[in-house]
Amino acid sequence: MHGHTARDPETERSRRWLLNRALLLGGAAAVTAMTGCSPSSPGGAPASAARSSGAPPPGGAAPRPGEISYDDFVGVTTDGKVVEDLYAVHSTGVSTAALVKAAKAFLKGLPAAQRRETLYDVRADEWLAWSNLDGFERKGVRMGDLTKAQRARGYAVLEAALSADGLTQTRNIMKLNAFLGEQAGGGRESLTEGHYFFTVMGTPSATQPWGFQFEGHHLAVNYFVLKDQVVMTPTFMGSEPTSATYRGERVTVFTRETEAGLALLHALTPEQRAEVISTTEVKRGANMKAGAGADNLRLPYAGLAASRFTPEQRGKLLDLLRVYVGYQAEGHAAVRMKEVEEHLDETYFCWLGETGDDSAFYYRVHSPVVLIEYDAQAPIAYGDERGPGGEPTRQHIHTVVRTPNGNDYGADLLRLHLETDHSS
Positive or negative, the CA dihedral 211, 221, 56, 193 is positive
The whole-number average pLDDT for the span 220-233 is 98
279: left (phi over 0), alpha (psi -120 to 50) or beta: alpha
Q: What is the reported pTM?
A: 0.87
Rounded CA-CA distance 142/164 in Å is 23
pLDDT at residue 319 greater than cutoff 50:
yes
Considering only CA atoms, which of 51, 66, 69 is closest in space to residue 20? 66
Confidence of residue 421 (pLDDT cuts 50, 70, 90): confident
Confidence of residue 6 (pLDDT cuts 50, 70, 90): very low
Kindly tell me the burial class for residue 88, based on how many C-beta atoms sit within 10 Å of its own C-beta (0-12, 13-18, 19 or more): exposed
Q: Is residue 132 within 8 Å of 239, Cβ to Cβ?
A: no
Q: Is residue 59 within 8 Å of 286, Cβ to Cβ?
A: yes
Residues 6+ apart with CB under 8 A from 15: none
Strands (E), 227-303: 229-231, 235-239, 243-246, 249-252
Considering only CA atoms, which of 108, 192, 111, 103 is closest in space to residue 154? 103
Confidence of residue 67 (pLDDT cuts 50, 70, 90): confident
List the chain domain ranges.
Answer: 1-424
**Residue 172, helix vs strand vs coil:** helix
Considering only CA atoms, which of 361, 318, 323, 362 is closest in space to residue 340? 318
**Residue, of 150 and 185, whose pLDDT is higher:** 150
The whole-number average pLDDT for the span 374-403 is 90
pLDDT in the model for residue 390 = 83
pLDDT at residue 156 greater than cutoff 50:
yes
